[in-house]
């Protein structure tokens, strides 16, 4: 049976755990600093929309910790969403009339963590693909499926 080397396991575990911690920090800061005045539907839709990149990233890093094949796709999606959120925050900091919230204080006080999170997610995504983890996870999954098929045929 094929398995990851200790270095590969540590890559997935520690980079995923650190990304999860930064993502939770961004999410907590995001909801803590949000203005609750704009609430037309009983929930704060812009807050949830702008929290979506952090939620996708958190799921991606959890799947990286669990060493799942879909983690790579979610890492790409989270990097793109985090970049779009940073562009939105930068634009909103310059123009306060986007939503009824003063983003300039938000961006200057909490923007550094979001920038660090984007750089971290992008770096982990590049490392994940450049070190060949999708291929490694595919080989492991194929090996497990072949073993499962062998035992299913053996007992049925």
| Confidence grade of residue 20 (pLDDT, cut at 50, 70, 90) | very high
Q: Judge contact between 115 and 100, C-beta under 8 A.
A: no
Residue with tokens 């790579």: 72
Q: What is the DSSP string of 6-27?
A: HHHHHHHHHHHHHHHHHHHHHH
Neighbours of 154 (CB within 10 A): 7
State pTM to two decimals: 0.80
pLDDT of 130 strictly over 90:
yes
Can you tell me the distance from the alpha carbon of 95 to that of 102, in angstroms, rounded to the nearest whole number?
9
Domain ranges of the chain: 6-34+43-155
Q: Which residues contact 23 (CB under 8 A, 6 or more apart)?
A: 54, 57, 58, 61, 117
Interval 79-125: pLDDT, tens: 999 888 888 777 766 665 555 455 555 555 556 788 889 999 999 99
Averaged pLDDT, 63-83? 92
Contact 51, 110 (CB under 8 A): no
Compute how many other C-beta atoms are within 10 angstroms of the C-beta atom of residue 34: 17
Question: Are residues 143 and 132 in contact, defined by beta-carbon separation less than 8 angstroms?
Answer: no
Are 154 and 146 a contacting pair, CB within 8 Å? no
């Amino acid at each position: 049976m094929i398995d990851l080397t200790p270095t590969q396991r540590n890559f997935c575990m520690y980079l995923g755990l650190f990304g999860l911690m930064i993502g939770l920090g961004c999410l907590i800061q995001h909801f803590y600093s949000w203005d609750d005045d704009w609430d037309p539907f009983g929930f704060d839709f812009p807050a949830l929309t702008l929290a979506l990149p952090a939620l996708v990233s958190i799921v991606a890093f959890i799947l990286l910790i669990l060493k799942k094949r879909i983690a790579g796709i979610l890492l790409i999606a989270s990097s793109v969403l985090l970049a779009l959120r940073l562009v939105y925050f930068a634009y909103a900091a310059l123009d306060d009339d986007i939503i009824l919230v003063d983003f300039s204080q938000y961006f200057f006080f909490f923007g550094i963590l979001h920038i660090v999170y984007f750089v971290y997610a992008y770096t982990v995504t590049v490392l994940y693909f450049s070190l060949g983890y999708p291929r490694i996870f595919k080989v492991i999954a194929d090996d497990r499926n072949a073993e499962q098929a062998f035992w299913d045929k053996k007992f049925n």
